[in-house]
Amino acid sequence: MDHPNAGTLELIGCPVRLSETPWRLRHAPPTVGQHTTEILSEVLDADRLAALRAEGAIA
């Protein structure tokens, strides 16, 4: 799997094998913090997210 930051990665496969729905790898693993804003915005407002960024708690 090609990763945008780490280059080529060797990853493990899915241990569950289903004959009707074969497993396939579609996306590289996320980078650290890649989804932080998206996830935290579900529970925090924009002002709180900005404050956390200013404090250095999140990037």
- Domains of the chain, by residue range, sit at 2-55
For residue 57, what is the DSSP state? S
Instruction: Tell me the pTM.
Output: 0.57
pLDDT for the residue 49 = 95
pLDDT for the residue 28 = 81
C-alpha to C-alpha distance for 26 and 54, rounded to whole angstroms: 35
Q: What is the pLDDT along the chain (59 residues), one digit of tens a residue?
A: 888 888 888 888 778 888 888 887 777 888 888 899 999 999 999 999 999 999 999 98
Widest pairwise Cα distance in the chain: 50
